[in-house]
Amino acid sequence: MARSDVHPIHRFESWQVWPGSYDNPPADGSFPAPPQKGFHITRATRIASMGSCFAREIKRRLQQRGFTYIAEEAHHPAAVHASAAWERVYNTFCMRQIFEYTFETWKPRQRWWQAPRSGRIQDPYRRVILYGDRTEAETDFARHREHSRRALQSAELLILTLGLTEVWQDRRDGSVISLPAGPYVNEDGDMCDYEFRVSRHAENLDNLERIHAIMARHNPGCRILVTVSPVNLWATFRRDLDVISASCNSKSTLRAAADEFVSRHDNTFYFPAYEMAAIYQPLTGRTYFADGRENFHINKRTVKFIMNHFFNWYAPSEPFEPFDMND
């Protein structure tokens, strides 16, 4: 039990108090957490994931450890980040659209972009996926929907990594594009129907609830593990806020939405990857930022720290890997 001079009568569990506060032990390399994690997995558990850049790290380490990671469309470059060719998914709106086009009828008013000069066809909703013509695009997307359905329907655990709250939305029907990039934008494609805005807590929570409702119909036995990506914004489109504050706002909003979301459902859980990187690593005297030009990413040591906790929490039958403070 831990103690506090502020609340001398109450006795807290060690994971309820700030590491190193008062006479309590400092951060020792093992992230403090309640003993009950909610579920366990084995190497046979079928795991799918989607999300931002950190989702790619989760995929890589699950595969390295020999877990049954669902990998549809392995031939497709856009599948390197997730369980199907969803590409990187930075916001909950694009996540929601994936579930809607996978299991329902989803027909945005602007389905494809055609670059004005090169004529290439671009998928606005899956980052920068390009085709030679519209027939090729439609054929590949129909195939993609089948792979997406197989991945989501067969998953026993689905990991969603939430990235940011900044979105570009079609004013006409509310659909959200991945981001304004690629040949269509670079070749001065018409973007007048799209507006930038910052999404808020309630609508991000609504998106998570919509995802849960769709999964409840099509794969009710699947558990959903939500995490907030510890990768910061490289740049913000906001004109009223600096990039550091904008990044903090994104993470805080998504963390609050995730907290309420998991409190509503017995089959949803939260994994504190963001907290492990942004708060706990500095408590041990270490930075979590990567070196070099992409210093908004997290370094390999922090990824290892996070994923070691993931395996030790949720796969207790796996050999235990101690946390080396000098690693």
Q: What SS3 class is residue 170?
A: strand
d(CA 324, CA 262): 31
Residues of the chain falling short of pLDDT 50 = none
Nearest alpha carbon to residue 167 among 180, 150, 155: 180
Task: Give the type of residue at 14.
Answer: S
Report the pLDDT value the prediction gives residue 2, as an integer from 0 to 100.
65
> CB 221: neighbour CB atoms within 10 A?
9
Structure tokens at 230: 């510890």
Task: Determine which helix (DSSP H) or strand (DSSP E) holds 185, and give its type and residue range.
Answer: helix 182-186
Report the pLDDT value the prediction gives residue 6, as an integer from 0 to 100.
66
d(CA 119, CA 136): 13
> CB 200: neighbour CB atoms within 10 A?
12
Task: For strands 223-228 and 194-198, give the pairing.
Answer: unpaired
Per-residue pLDDT of 55-85, as tens digits, reads: 888 999 999 999 999 999 999 999 999 999 9
d(CA 108, CA 126): 13
Nearest alpha carbon to residue 90 among 127, 64, 121, 118: 127
Report the pLDDT value the prediction gives residue 215, as an integer from 0 to 100.
98
Report the pLDDT value the prediction gives residue 302, as an integer from 0 to 100.
94
Read out DSSP for 98-140? Answer: HHHHHHS----S---EE-TTT--EEETTSSSEEESSHHHHHHH
